[in-house]
Amino acid sequence: MHRIAVLAGDGIGPEVMTESLRVLDAVEAKFDFTTERTEALVGGAALDATDNETPLPKATIQACEASDGILFGSVGGPKWENLPPDIQPERGALLPLRKHFGLFANLRPGVCLPSLTHASPIKNELVPDGFDVLCVRELTGGVYFGTPKGREERDGEPVAFDTMVYKKSEIERILHVAFTAAMQRDKRVTSVDKANVLATSVLWRETAIEVAGHYPDVTLDHLYVDNAAMQLCRRPGSFDVLVTENLFGDILSDEMAMISGSLGMLPSASLGSKKEGTDLYFGMYEPSGGSAPDIAGQGIANPIAQILSASMLLRYSLGEGEAADALDAAVARTIDDGLRTGDIATGAEGETRVGTREMADAVIERL
């Protein structure tokens, strides 16, 4: 029996979460295991329930602590945009969750299936076979969390400052995650930095070269982040694993998600340390896209990012790799068979337009 914390959150979060849990029911029946699920409030939903006290109640943290992994929906929306920044759903819930659970490794797959190249804004002749890039983003260090951080008066005017800081050990451990992932893939790592300007990047690059020594089968190359941003939209098919620090990863992973065609297809995993004596991580799994308030409640959101997030949870935190493989294959067949929510539809022949629930049904049928 596995224990998972279910944090649906806001916007389309609850509706895609409901569908992913139905899919999970079907996976469990087929592969003969069970999950005990504890639902907890997060984001705007938690603010509403606590009279705007917090987007991350203690009970939610406790539910997560008692679990093997967290299945997360999405948080945020216009209703909470004018609250003080510290309690806004994104900053007040996501960042503290990452920090509290030490979720330092953010895996964001940027996959454009060959059958969905039309959805990519990249000229199709540049990506005839789609592409499959894995972005590995450092998630608990760098300028997001460095101190001093703040704002004060200097010489009669407001001054604000953030600090970008990295310990070598923080760089090493994220690079090991990237190289380990590359070993299961095409064995190529591109490390992205700004070593022509930043001291943290000089240390980053040195460390990348050192860590690469432990993985003789993997080739390593380096790109400055500005160049990486260009190359990603010029030759996305040429990358295998990208690894980079927190802020660069925030920006590049959004670029990658955009060029892959639909955010509605992309899951993500934020992993902490390994559970003792196992190869499993404590982790939080969530769609790469946001809460999409503009389409929430209409039953039209693509549930696949949430379904694939559940698959990553099965693989990395629950040790149900076979079930995860089957689920990934069922999703791929669903797309191959032409089922399309609005975000990935073109109206081409052979496509069937479906809503959130029907898309999940189609995945369940193909399991």
Residues serving a catalytic function are 144, 194, 226, 250, 254
> Residues 300-339: x/- map of binding to ligand IPM (CB under 6 A)?
----------------------------------------
Q: Which is nearer to Mg ion, 250 or 337 (CB)?
A: 250
Q: CB 46 → Mg ion: shortest distance, Å?
A: 21
- Listed ranges 90-98, 258-266, 336-344, 359-367: which one lies at the site for ligand IPM (CB under 6 A): 90-98
Q: CB 22 → ligand IPM: shortest distance, Å?
A: 26
Residue count, binding to ligand IPM (CB under 6 A): 5
Residues sharing a CB contact under 8 Å with residue 107, sequence separation 6 or more, in sequence order = 134, 135, 136, 177, 181, 268, 269, 270, 271, 312
Residue 94: name its binding partner from ligand IPM, Mg ion, none (Cβ under 5 to 8 Å by kind). ligand IPM
Under the criterion CB under 6 A, does residue 263 sit at the interface with ligand IPM?
Answer: no
Q: CB 268 → ligand IPM: shortest distance, Å?
A: 8
Among 48, 172, 186, 250, binds ligand IPM (CB under 6 A): 250
> Residues 225-264: x/- map of binding to Mg ion (CB under 5 A)?
-------------------------x--------------
Under the criterion CB under 6 A, does residue 95 sit at the interface with ligand IPM?
Answer: yes
Q: CB 254 → Mg ion: shortest distance, Å?
A: 5
For 150, the token pair is: 């703040």
CA-CA distances (angstroms) from residue 4 to 24, 63, 101, 266, 283?
A: 12, 9, 15, 21, 10
Q: CB 40 → ligand IPM: shortest distance, Å?
A: 19
Q: CB 258 → ligand IPM: shortest distance, Å?
A: 13
> Residues 196-235: x/- map of binding to ligand IPM (CB under 6 A)?
----------------------------------------
Residue 95: name its binding partner from ligand IPM, Mg ion, none (Cβ under 5 to 8 Å by kind). ligand IPM
Residue 202: name its binding partner from ligand IPM, Mg ion, none (Cβ under 5 to 8 Å by kind). none
Site residues for ligand IPM per CB under 6 A:
90-91, 94-95, 250
Site residues for Mg ion per CB under 5 A:
250
